[in-house]
């Protein structure tokens, strides 16, 4: 698919709806999982995804093509996710740590989550990191974005992105081993 032609179709009144349907088919699942990693539950991810596509649809005429369509939409999804978390924090939590604790609790009880212990352990390890460290790791590890793309999305230098990512990887390696060791002792 030629992105420039696709963007023209999205901008055209005649082809916009058909092109937007194609856009949904291409990006809905990837954006859902990107959002889900940030907001936690299936229901919240669905709500944020819907808001993301509404914002994408309304903002297509403003898309300047300074980045790829994919990167631009990820940025919108990221911003919508952060907006959602901020609203949730204001409603019922006094700190981001409480949001993380609630997320972990929701994750363990979510019927759409398969309950893999490794995923729960990984989230527990990630929950103590800064927001930027978590986002960088999620975008690189789960979404397979390039450092350059993450840098554009988060508006942080590429070298800082790399520093965050490799620090998180070391933190995970250290703590996964510790958790596995503690569980062996308990057993």
| Residue-level pLDDT at 186 | 47
pLDDT in tens, 63-122: 888 888 888 899 899 999 988 888 877 665 445 555 555 555 655 555 454 445 666 677
pLDDT in tens, 24-40: 999 999 999 889 888 87
Over the range 135-152, which residues count as b (16 or more CB within 10 Å of their CB) and which as e? bbbbbbbebebebebbbb
Range of weakest confidence among 90-94, 155-159, 164-168: 90-94
Distance separating alpha carbons of residues 155 and 74, to the nearest angstrom = 13
Mean pLDDT of 172-186: 59
CATH class of the 114-187 domain in this structure: mainly alpha
Q: Which fold has domain 1-95+102-107?
A: Rna Polymerase Sigma Factor; Chain: A (1.10.1740)
Domain boundaries, the chain: 1-95+102-107, 114-187
- What is the per-residue DSSP string for 40-89? -SHHHHHHHHHHHHHHHHHHGGG---SS-HHHHHHHHHHHHHHHHHHHHH
pLDDT band at 138 (very low <50, low <70, confident <90, very high): confident
The token duo for 37 is 């990693």
| Residue-level pLDDT at 53 | 93
Q: By the 8 A CB rule, do 89 and 99 touch?
A: yes
**pTM for the complete prediction?**
0.61
């Amino acid at each position: 698919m030629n992105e420039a032609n696709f963007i023209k179709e999205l901008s055209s009144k005649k082809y916009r709806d058909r092109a937007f349907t194609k856009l949904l088919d291409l990006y809905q699942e990837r954006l859902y999982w990107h959002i889900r990693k940030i907001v936690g539950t299936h229901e919240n991810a669905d709500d944020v995804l819907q808001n993301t596509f509404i914002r994408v649809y309304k903002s297509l005429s403003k898309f300047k093509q300074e980045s790829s369509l994919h990167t631009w939409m990820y940025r919108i999804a990221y911003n919508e996710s952060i907006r959602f978390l901020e609203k949730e924090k204001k409603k019922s939590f006094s700190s981001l740590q409480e949001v993380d604790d609630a997320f972990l609790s929701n994750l363990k009880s979510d019927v759409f989550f398969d309950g893999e212990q490794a995923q729960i352990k990984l989230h527990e390890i990630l929950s103590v990191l800064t927001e930027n460290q978590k986002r960088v790791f999620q975008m690189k590890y789960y979404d397979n974005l390039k450092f350059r793309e993450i840098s554009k999305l988060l508006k942080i230098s590429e070298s800082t992105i790399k520093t965050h990512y490799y620090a998180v990887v070391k933190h995970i390696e250290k703590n996964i081993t510790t958790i596995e060791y503690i569980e062996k002792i308990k057993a």
